[in-house]
Structure 1
């Protein structure tokens, strides 16, 4: 089990390293082949400012890679929202982030509130990401969390 968490940590950190420390929280690190971005459906924008549709992973902490979504299984991707189940992998940063341990939590994911994506004629992007933990969740985290995605 520890080896699996180490592998996930390496993937998340590699994505963060590529993204750069100055980017806002949002982000996908890998997406399946259906990432074509027509104006027909909204996209989610990753740490590299690339449009993604149904990404398999999504980095929440672009700056340091200490929080990300993996094993995303999309149930829907529509004009007003997208829903998935997956795993939230979070570094406990104890005693500090470089020495922390990654923990996995089952999570329900919802993307919502599509808005026009400035500079991308006719394309909309989701502006809100909501997480709901059906079981265990990170320390000090509420069962339902909503994140604004960068604008």
Structure 2
């Protein structure tokens, strides 16, 4: 009989302890504002790739989706905000001489600026940058202006 009483007492204590732990967990105070913000999805605008994938702070980006003859690489973002983003990097442009398939890619240092954030047609809950501007800082491809603006796809 004594063995049964000890087993019952141990079981009751374990059940009480588990109930107390469950009660403590459910009654825990709400997470501080900073913790909640860390779990919130990032709502800053995105840059939409040629494959229709949203990205933030990509290290590379294709400007000429059809043929790949102009692309950005080695991008280092110093700002990615709700209204604009800026980076430094390289614009690799095919000179297409004598024709594009036989051309040479040449690199040009650029400052990249993204702006005009708008809701993305594919996912209106996301905002995406709709304009990309390049400022050539040391040389530029033949026929290019010092500043070139691109309207980005939606």
More helix by share: 2
Match of 1:79 among 74, 78, 82: 82
- Superposed displacement of residue 39, structure 1: 5.7
Quick one: higher RCO (CA 8 Å, sep 6+), 1 or 2?
1
Match of 1:61 among 42, 50, 64: 64
Larger Rg: 2
Matching residue of 1:96: 99
Q: How big is the alpha-carbon RMSD for the aligned residues of Structure 1 and Structure 2?
A: 1.4
Matched, 1:118 2:121: yes
Q: What runs of 5+ residues in structure 1 fail to find an aligned partner?
A: 1-37
Runs of 4+ with >6 A deviation: none
Matched, 1:145 2:133: no
Contact residue 110 and residue 130 of structure 1 kept, 8 A: yes
TM-score norm. by structure 1 comes to: 0.73
- Per-residue CA shift, 1:41-100, capped at 9, x if unaligned? 000000110000000000001111110000000000000000000000000001100110
What is the SS of the residue equivalent to 1:70?
A: strand
Q: What runs of 5+ residues in structure 2 fail to find an aligned partner?
A: 1-40
Return closer, same or farther for 1:107/1:40 CA change in 2, 3 Å cut-off.
same
TM-score norm. by structure 2 comes to: 0.72
Distance 1:41 1:71 in 2: 22
